Amino acid sequence: MLIRTQKLCAKNTLRPLAGERMYCALRRPGVLRHRLLAIVHPPSPNSLRPINTTEQSGRNDNGKQTDWNLHRKVGITMALTGVLGLLVYKHSLKNDGTRLPDAGWIMPAVSAKTHPIPKLSQRKDFNFIADAVEVSAPAVVYLEIRDRQHVDFFTREPMTVSNGSGFIIESNGLILTNAHVVVSKPHTMLTVKLTDGRTFPGYVEHVDPVSDLATVRVQCDNLPTLKLGNSADLRTGEWVVALGSPLALNNTVTAGVVSTTQRPSQELGLRGKDINYIQTDAAITFGNSGGPLVNLDGEAIGINSMKVTSGISFAIPIDHAKEFLRKINESGSERRSGSNIPTYRRYIGITMLTLTPEILSELQQRNHKFPPIVRAGVLVWKVIQGSPAFSGGLQPGDIITHINGKEIKSSSDVYELLLEKDKKLSMTIYRGQQQTTVHIFPENTNA
């Protein structure tokens, strides 16, 4: 009985000791963390090994601690990689202009608000033509030529036969212009109108038909003047501005570029002239004749002379005008000097231009209405109002090919016919592509 009781007691005693050992083993940090990692990361079947004994577990605690540190480092590295990837993605979206939701919980953002600079007007920077006009326009004048022998039916005033432009070069009233503007018909009077509206009678002081230049004087002081530049250093492609008074409109402005700086008068068929004209695509109309051709500095580098067609105009270089003015100063009181030029006794009242092969080629390229059959002739580019040519029906733009049955190849042929005694000139002309004939009766004059 005693023996049995002792065995039962021994069994009861061993059970509590086994429970305490298990409880103590679970309380060890290494074993507990290993159990938790085993729950989170279940081992693969190949990694299952027999359970170590109590003695073996003590030797493996250090290895298990190393595995835990390794897992923790890998987790932290992956987390940092994700955060950096998100930041890079956010930065790329901002560069693309895509709006991204607020992510300030990841990394604080610093921003500075800037005020946009107000956009300044570009008119002052790029209106270079207006700047040139502002400097040169006050010196431009309007010239009107009236015929004393013909009066207007309604106003009873002398009839206007022509108009043109000029510009003041001396403050005491000296004006430079074209000779063909002021010497267009006998028995005429000249009126000068300034930009401020004042009008004065003009007096022609000097005329040079060779250079087609003239000076006009008005009795007035303290006038605005235009500075004379240099045409020698003018370049092809340079911007120029033509000023004048076409159709009696004061200070009309056209702009263009220089097509060539050396267009000899021989190529234009101009008789008795030795000038290298400036060719430009700035429109030079009848009223612009005599007005200044200025550069972007507001300096006169030419005197507007003639327009052949749209895009082809010519100006006299200002260096020729300087030479003309120098000769005037040397001659003193000599007036209206036109020596070595024959005085024609008959007058028809036109300004013409010889159609050279070069000009014909340019006209055919620019004007589709130009008659293809024309191979030579003269182009009428100005008709004096009230002149025999005006009364006979000639118009600007007409092409004269024959006079009294004789073929016309240059303006010299027309001048030679005016020396003859024929009272009537029968002219074969092309107006557009239509051929017609007009009859003109020249006037006798001693001018």
Mean pLDDT of the residues in the chain: 75
The whole-number average pLDDT for the span 336-363 is 68
Confidence of residue 5 (pLDDT cuts 50, 70, 90): very low
Confidence of residue 216 (pLDDT cuts 50, 70, 90): very high
Are 207 and 279 within one domain?
no
In a domain, 99, yes or no: no
pLDDT at 366: 76
pLDDT at 218: 93
Are 373 and 286 within one domain?
no
pLDDT at 224: 93
In a domain, 39, yes or no: no
In terms of residue numbers, what domain contains 167?
Answer: 134-218
Q: Tokens representing 344?
A: 């024609």
Are 347 and 437 within one domain?
yes
> Between 188 and 177, whose confidence is greater?
177
pLDDT at 120: 67
Give every CB contact of residue 374 below 8 A, 6+ residues apart in sequence. 355, 360, 399, 401, 430
CATH number, residue 434: 2.30.42.10
Are 311 and 382 within one domain?
no
CATH number, residue 147: 2.40.10.10
256: closest CA among 232, 272, 236, 276?
A: 236
How many whole angstroms separate alpha carbon 188 and alpha carbon 150?
Answer: 10
How many whole angstroms separate alpha carbon 325 and alpha carbon 311?
Answer: 30
Q: Tokens representing 331?
A: 């001659």
Are 242 and 214 within one domain?
no
pLDDT at 228: 94
* Residues catalogued as catalytic: 180, 212, 289
Are 250 and 296 within one domain?
yes
318: closest CA among 210, 200, 229?
A: 229
> Between 371 and 318, whose confidence is greater?
318
Q: What percent of the chain has pLDDT over 70?
A: 69
Q: Tokens representing 438?
A: 């007009």
The CB density around residue 131, as the number of other CB atoms within 10 Å, is 14
Q: Tokens representing 14?
A: 């061993």
Last residue of a domain, one of 291, 322, 353: 322
19-50 confidence digits (pLDDT tens)? 444 444 444 544 444 444 444 444 444 444 44
Confidence of residue 210 (pLDDT cuts 50, 70, 90): confident
> Between 251 and 350, whose confidence is greater?
350
> Between 292 and 309, whose confidence is greater?
292
Give every CB contact of residue 410 below 8 A, 6+ residues apart in sequence. 269, 271, 354, 376, 378
**Count of domains in the chain?**
3
pLDDT at 301: 94
In a domain, 303, yes or no: yes
The whole-number average pLDDT for the span 257-285 is 78
Confidence of residue 92 (pLDDT cuts 50, 70, 90): low
Comparing 130-144, 243-257, 263-277, the range with the smallest average pLDDT is 263-277
- On the question of pLDDT at 3 being above 70, the answer is no
The CB density around residue 166, as the number of other CB atoms within 10 Å, is 29
